[in-house]
Structure formats: C-alpha cells, structure tokens
Amino acid sequence: SGLGEEKESRLIEVLFSSVSVRQLLIAKVLALGAAGLLQVLVWLITSPLLLNLASSSFGGFLSDIQIPSNFIVLGVVYFVLGYLLFAVLSVGIGGISASESEGHNLSMIYIMMGFIPLWFFGAFINFPNSSIWVVLSIFPVTAPVQTMLRLGVSDIPAWQLLLSIGVLALSVLGGFILSTKIYRMFMLMYGKRPSLKEIFRGLKSA
C-alpha cells in the first residue's frame, strides 16, 4: 500500500497536513481495489482467447470445457473482497511497523494463512464438505481460496455462501475501521513497533 515507505521516509507527515487519515486510507484501499478489478477484467477478457488458442493447438477437447457463470461471478466477488481485506490489513500493519521491510514480513503471515486450504488440498478433495472445510470457507482470511476450491469439486448450500460473503464483507469494513484507528494512533511512532498491550490499550481508549 506504500504506507510503510511513506511513514519511514516521514512523507506521511506532509500528507496528513493536507488530508485526514481516513481520506488517505480510503484512497489507498480504493486504489488497491481498482488494481484488483483491473486484474479480474484482464483475466476475464484473456481467458476465453487463451482457451480457444489452446483448443486449436492441442485438440478440440478443450472446447468442451464449460465454466458455470455462477462460478465466474462468485470468483469475482471473492477476489475483490479478498483483495480489499488484504488492503485493509496491510493498512493496519503499515501503521504499527517500524519500517517498510518489517511491514512486508508481517504481511506474509496473513498471506500464508490465506493459502492454508491449498496446503491440505489432498486431504480436502475427498471430503470437501466436512466441518473443518466449511469453517475455513467462512473464516475471512481463508474464505476466498477455500470457497472456490469447494465450488470446483462440490455444491455449496446457498446459506453457507451468503454467510461466507457476509462475514468477509463485514471483516473488510471492520478491518478498515480498526486499521484507521491503529494508523491514526501510531502513524508518527518511528523506530519501534508498538506492543500488543499498547495496541489494545490504544484501541480501548479510542
């Protein structure tokens, strides 16, 4: 999101003299969301072209591949919401990080968490609707990847999809509110990262 770099270079002080914390972070999140949507549009446009090219090169059997429209729509929804969740979490981490490199290292924690479903794909494929996989479909960080994996191999009840999307959307909103508070409290703290105790105390008093 660039916030870590701006904080480290102290450019953030200049920015906050012109705009509010909320305005800056909304602009950052919307910019990341727009970048995510652009990627989706590129994939949607190029995928049929690449499939046709592959079909003509390797045989007509590829032309029989049909991707359900609901799978595409849900894929876009989960990609955008997952991308926005990543953006708001990055904002919060940028607020507490002492440097840009530290922010990148902390970000890797929840990025790796998001791909937990892929690590256990072998166990998942045989029992796609077991309780643990349903829970991971609802847990915000793993929901985008886990839900799309489940949709690829089985049907998912409508209530689970609605619950998953609802929880993910609320997590984006809640994450943005918390990240805004965190960044406002610690944006001018240089050279050290606040402890968890300091963060919780600050959120409690905010």
Residue 91 CA to its chain's centroid (Å): 12
3-39 pLDDT per residue, tens: 666 666 566 666 666 777 777 777 777 777 777 777 7
Answer whether residue 102 shows pLDDT above 80: no
Residue 154 is classified by DSSP as S
Tell me the average pLDDT of the chain: 77
Answer whether residue 61 shows pLDDT above 70: no
Question: Domain ranges in the chain?
Answer: 3-205
Q: Is there a contact between 117 and 145 (Cβ–Cβ < 8 Å)?
A: yes
**147: which residues sit within 8 A by CB, 6+ positions away?**
74, 78, 137, 156, 161, 164
Q: Is there a contact between 142 and 114 (Cβ–Cβ < 8 Å)?
A: yes
Which range, 89-98, 133-142, 183-192, has the best average confidence (pLDDT)? 133-142
pLDDT in the model for residue 97: 72
125-148 pLDDT per residue, tens: 778 788 888 999 999 999 999 998
